[in-house]
Structure 1
Amino acid sequence: DALTKDAQQALRRTMEKYTNSCRFILDCNYPSKIIDPIQSRCVLFRFESLKKDDVLKHLRIISDKENVNVSDKVLAEIFEISKGDLRKAINVLQSSSVLGDKVTNELVYEVASMAHPKEIRECLELAVKGDFVKARDLLFDTIISHGMSGLDVIKQIQKEIITLDNISAKTKIRLIGLVGEFEFRIVEGSDEFVQLESLLAQFFKIE
């Protein structure tokens, strides 16, 4: 599903050409991104995401066998970062264990190239209060220090909106809709810094 449409068309022609002598097994995360001609030539098997308890169990087994010093709380944080992807969770755990004697939340977020939720939350709280300059500077510093993309930031902002205090559920819904609009602009190729700056400027006007 990471292939472009043109690359998928080329793959389709290869599948058609060698259909009598070759079988293809394709793995993807987003079936909707696979073109119909390829989907129609395949038998689709859909697998559910692993449950949180199962992922945490595997991570704990690996940690104990490899003598990795990590708490259950940090393992739960790794699960949230990986969004149930066990392969990604194991990679984050492994990389974090190399960087320090003890795996901490800070190491985990550094390895995953993500900002700590409290950093994003602080930016949003400043924006909602109308302190645009501080919110913008803090957000841009966070992006640069963690090497994040605009879409990465948008996804974290969307998640942290739910945790904001002192704003109504109705306002949170409007904020999420607003974030979706700016995400679309970034996907379409707009400058991510300009869009994020504009997004923060809109936050304190949402009430």
Structure 2
Amino acid sequence: MIDTLRTKLTQFCSTISLSGSRKVVIIDEADYMNADSVQPAMRNFTERFADNCSFIFTCNYKNRIIEPIHSRCAVIDFSLKNGEKQVIAARFMKRVEGILTDESIDYDKEVIAKLVLKHFPDFRRVLNELQRYSTSGEINSGVLANIKEMNLKELIDSLREKNFSKMRQWVVANVDNDPATVYRKIYDELYNVVDKGSIPQAVLTIAEYQYKSAFVADQEINLVACLVELMAECEFV
């Protein structure tokens, strides 16, 4: 990336556009740029070409973007507020029904609704799952066996009993869920099942592994490691 910055981007930003208007550089997935080399270089680069170019950085994890870049940009957060989720989910549900109708795929509305709710707001995941289930030309109630909500009671029982085998079985059954959602649900349940004295350590452990989930090679191993620490360090009530 640093070579691209010094060559292609520099060449692009150094010249004016054919229409004489400002150029726009879009850095996609900027949170994966090296924070020790590329991001500091990008900070100076944006200032150097500020008169000629506008810069847009997209990312999933804004905490991985260094502060000097934050301060040079208007930060726009596309996360949904609670009041918007139901409206957006309903609109997406209608969009999904339209796609299935256009593709001449028979479907059960209840199945589609459960699939949307399970993976919301990851619309790409919903569409990929629909494509997988629709290979037979129909999406019916038989799909429901594969659309299961996370049963946190089973997980908490295995942690309380220090039963590694049961805990790992739960992970295998739920590892396809969005990692951020899994860690958030475990965090939300903490205050009901963990002794107050264990909560601070539990929060730190979950935060550490949720952060690692953004770049680990194997989500199952990462989640199991997190739960092993919770099992060993926390007192469950």
TM-score normalised by structure 1 residue count: 0.64
Correspondence for 1:23 = 54
Which ranges of 4 or more aligned residues in structure 1 deviate by more than 6 Å?
Answer: none
1:12 aligns with 2:35: no
Select the residue among 179, 204, 218 that pairs with 1:181: 204
Is the partner of 1:42 in helix, strand or coil?
coil
Maintained 8 Å contact 1:78/1:108:
no
1:137 aligns with 2:165: yes
Maintained 8 Å contact 2:35/2:66:
yes
Select the residue among 27, 31, 54 that pairs with 1:2: 31
Is the partner of 1:75 in helix, strand or coil?
helix
5 Å matches for 1:62-77?
A: 62-67=95-100, 69-71=107-109, 75=113
Correspondence for 2:187 = 158
Amino acid at match of 2:228: E
User: When the two structures are aligned, how many residues end up with a matched partner?
Assistant: 182
Q: CA deviation at 1:78?
A: 3.2
Q: Distance in 2 between matches of 1:199 and 1:170?
A: 12
5 Å matches for 1:96-107?
A: 96-100=129-133, 101-102=138-139, 104=143, 107=146
Q: Distance in 1 between matches of 2:56 and 2:193?
A: 45
Q: CA deviation at 1:185?
A: 5.0
Is the partner of 2:53 in helix, strand or coil?
coil
1:36 aligns with 2:79: no
Q: Distance in 2 between matches of 1:77 and 1:172?
A: 35
Q: CA deviation at 1:122?
A: 0.4
Maintained 8 Å contact 1:59/1:75:
no
Q: Distance in 2 between matches of 1:184 and 1:44?
A: 23
Q: Distance in 2 between matches of 1:170 and 1:142?
A: 17
Q: Distance in 1 between matches of 2:126 and 2:232?
A: 37
RMSD (Å), alpha carbons: 3.8
Q: CA deviation at 1:73?
A: 7.3
Distance 1:40 1:157, change over 3 A: closer
Q: Distance in 2 between matches of 1:124 and 1:157?
A: 9
TM-score normalised by structure 2 residue count: 0.58
Q: CA deviation at 1:141?
A: 3.0
Is the partner of 2:47 in helix, strand or coil?
helix
Q: CA deviation at 1:25?
A: 2.0
Q: CA deviation at 1:155?
A: 3.7
Maintained 8 Å contact 2:159/2:230:
no
Q: Report sequence identity in percent.
A: 15
- Return 5+ residue gaps in structure 2 as ranges: 1-29, 214-220
Q: CA deviation at 1:23?
A: 1.1
CA deviations on 1:116-166 (whole Å, 9 max, x unpaired) are 411x430212333x3x22xx21222343465569x655444224x26xxxx
Q: Distance in 2 between matches of 1:55 and 1:76?
A: 15
- Return 5+ residue gaps in structure 1 as ranges: 110-115, 163-167
Q: Distance in 1 between matches of 2:236 and 2:172?
A: 27
